[in-house]
Every structure is written in C-alpha cells, then in structure tokens.
Amino acid sequence: MNTIRLEEPGKLIARDTPDPGPPGPGEALVRVHRIGVCGTDIHAYAGRQPFFSYPRILGHELGVEVLATGEGVSNIDVGARCAVEPYINCGECIACRRGKPNCCADLHVLGVHRDGGMRGRFIVPARKLHHSPTLEYDQLALVETLAIGCHAVDRACLERDEFALVIGAGPIGLAVMQFAVEARARVIALDVNAARLEFCQKQLGVAHAIHGGLEPVLESLLRITGGDLPTAVIDATGNPQSMAATFNYQAPGGRVVFVGLFQGDVTFKDPNFHKREISLLASRNALPADFTRIIRLIESGRIDTTPWITHRAGFSRVSEEFPRWTLPATGVVKAMISV
C-alpha cells in the first residue's frame, strides 16, 4: 500500500506499507480519495507543531469511501462517501462526559498523535465518519477545516451586527471568517498578506480588511467601529506577538478567542485585562455536530467550497510539491491531494 510518512522535519518519504486488514467491532475500513493540507501539516513539516512526534503519517482533512465495516456498525454503509472527524476521544473522561470530546483528556488526533490519512487505506472508528450522499470528495475533505472555524465562532458566541476582528487569513482564519459572516457579524480581517485579504473580501464576503504591515491597526479599528473597538477578537495566527496584541484591540467587556497555538507562553498586561473585563477563551478542534452542520450547509449551497482549493497534486507528487506549498510566495489557500 502506498504511504507517505514524515520521517523528521523536512523529510517526507514515500514507502510501501502493509494493508490494514479487516475492521474490528465498531470500526470501518476506508479508502482515502482526497487529503487536504493544513497548517498543522505545514508546522509539522517545519518542526514547530506542538504535541507532535516523528515519524508520523500526516493527513487529517480527508474525503474517504467506506470499503468494509466491522461488527456492530450501523451508522454507515459500505460505499458511503464520508468526511472524517479525526479526533479520537476516550468517551469516559470528564470532558467527554460533559459533551466536549474535542478536548478529551486522552485525545489522539489523526495525523498528529497517531498516523493519519496519507495512505491508500486505513481503519477508523465508524462513529468518526460523517456521510453525505451528494458531496464530492474535495468537499468532504474541506469539512474538518471549516469545522475548526465553526467551533471557534461558537466559542466566541458572536451576535448579529457586532464587530468581530479575525486575525490571520490562513485556512483556519478564513474558516473562522466564513462562519463569522454566517453569524451575521460585521467581520474585520487583519493580515499582512494582501492577496489573502482580497480573497476573504471577494470570496467570503468579509466587510472590512486591514493590512497590518501597511496601516496602523488600532487607528483602523477605531475608524471602522466608530471608536468602540471590536467586541470579539479571534486570533488564528499561532503567533505570540499577534496573540499578545489581541488584548489591545478588544472593546471593554468583550472576549478573545485563541484558535492558533504555538510552543510558548502568551503574556498580557493584567491591569488592562481587568479594566476591560475581557473574557479569554481557547478553541480546540471541533464537535461532532459541527461536521453535521457543515455538510448540510455545503449540500444546501450556503457554503461554496469551490474557491478554497488553489493547488492540487496527485499522491505520487506530494514529496516534490509539499515543500513549495509551505512557501508564502506560492499563494496556497488550500492544497488538495488526490490518492
């Protein structure tokens, strides 16, 4: 079976690996058709992804076909096309018992903590498969990225017409913007990449954009909000300087949500934090209901995934193309691998 494994930072190797065998009780054997490349994969390739160990088979944004099911599986049929919810949770810890399997105490994410989908076939718990009778594999592979943004917006509890600043216009930031627009917030995008800012305004309907390298951010925010500042700030950069700056962009009584992460500490000035009574939240992964919701939104045409995929490659060219996808000059929004 063809497999691509990240042996160490900067070293993707194609190799032949054994077939996974038949699925056990509660499991499904799936064939991988599409793999989306995300920031986690890029960071792992660069050697700066938290909670990561090498060697590892990457790939957690997946469009798959069910080849076989094990004993007791009733939620999915052979032949079904599915998105994969890659968060393997224990089902028993306090987070799972309270309906938060996305931050399970013993969480294992495919492609991060255990091997993912950069291979022809693998076995996954059947409960982690989300079926659509109509979506194409490209669309199914984008569901997980969108789910990250969906969950972050839910964490922010965005209200209609409030100003929401989204920092970072990478794939996760764009997914956040997609659902902030869906929530009818007045979205402000902040980035230093002019092409990404143009994308989020033209393709996602973001109302306002600030180029952080060309204009003063605080003055621009005050102008856009009529002097109030945003009541919600969502940072999707995973950059410590950017994350620390969120506390300066926040309106009194507002909230900050960190979607991105990095290996280090975030610091802020405590008097400023208390004076504004800022609520600080983390957003990790997504919930099963997010996958269901997103599939329905794509099926209904409420979300158009067509503009997202800017680069493609067949499985045999991944080792060659992947290094180029890590370069900002390449202009990648989402690279998609066909298996």
138, part of any domain: no
- Both 59 and 171 in one domain: the answer is no
Residues 201, 309 within the same domain: no
In 3D space, the residue among 165, 175, 152, 223 whose CA is nearest the CA of residue 36 turns out to be 175
**Assigned domain for 53 exists:** yes
pLDDT score recorded for residue 243: 95
Tell me if 90 is assigned to some domain.
yes
Mean confidence (pLDDT) of the chain: 95
Q: What is the CATH number of the domain that holds 69?
A: 3.90.180.10
Q: How far apart are CA 203 and CA 128, in angstroms?
A: 30
For residue 49, is it within any domain? yes
Predicted confidence at residue 331, as pLDDT, reads 86
Dump pLDDT digits (tens) for 39-79: 889 889 988 777 788 999 999 999 999 999 999 999 999 99
Q: In terms of domains, do 205 and 240 share one?
A: yes
Residues 183 and 223 in one domain: yes
Tell me the pLDDT band of 93, cut-offs 50, 70 and 90. very high
Output the pLDDT for position 189: 98
Does 156 lie in the same domain as 125? no
Tell me the two tokens of residue 122. 């693998």
pTM to 2 decimal places: 0.93
* Same domain as 116, residue 158: no
pLDDT value at residue 39? 84
**Is 296 part of any domain?**
no
* Pair 58, 106 in one domain: yes
Is 80 domain-assigned?
A: yes
Which domain, by its residues, includes 105? 2-131+305-338
Assess whether 172 and 244 both reside in one domain.
Answer: yes
The answer to whether residues 7 and 96 belong to one domain is yes
Count how many domains the chain has.
2
Given a cut of 90, is residue 311 above it in pLDDT? yes
Residue 261's pLDDT is 86
Residues 276 and 154 in one domain: yes
Q: Are residues 75 and 125 in the same domain?
A: yes
Alpha carbons within 13 A on the beta-carbon side of 73: 22
- Looking at the fold, whether 252 and 188 belong to one and the same domain comes out as yes
Q: What percent of the chain has pLDDT over 90?
A: 89
CATH code of the domain covering residue 169 = 3.40.50.720
Q: Is residue 291 part of a domain?
A: no
Long-range contacts of 296-299 (CB under 8 A, 24+ apart): 297/182, 298/132, 298/135, 298/139, 298/143, 299/132, 299/134, 299/135
* pLDDT tens digits, 107-116: 999 999 999 9
- pLDDT tens-digit map of 266-298: 999 999 999 999 999 999 999 999 999 999 999
Using CA atoms, how far apart are residues 190 and 197, in angstroms rounded to an integer?
8
In a domain, 136, yes or no: no
Q: How many Å apart are CA 60 and CA 116, to the nearest integer?
A: 6
Mean pLDDT, residues 224-246 taken together: 96
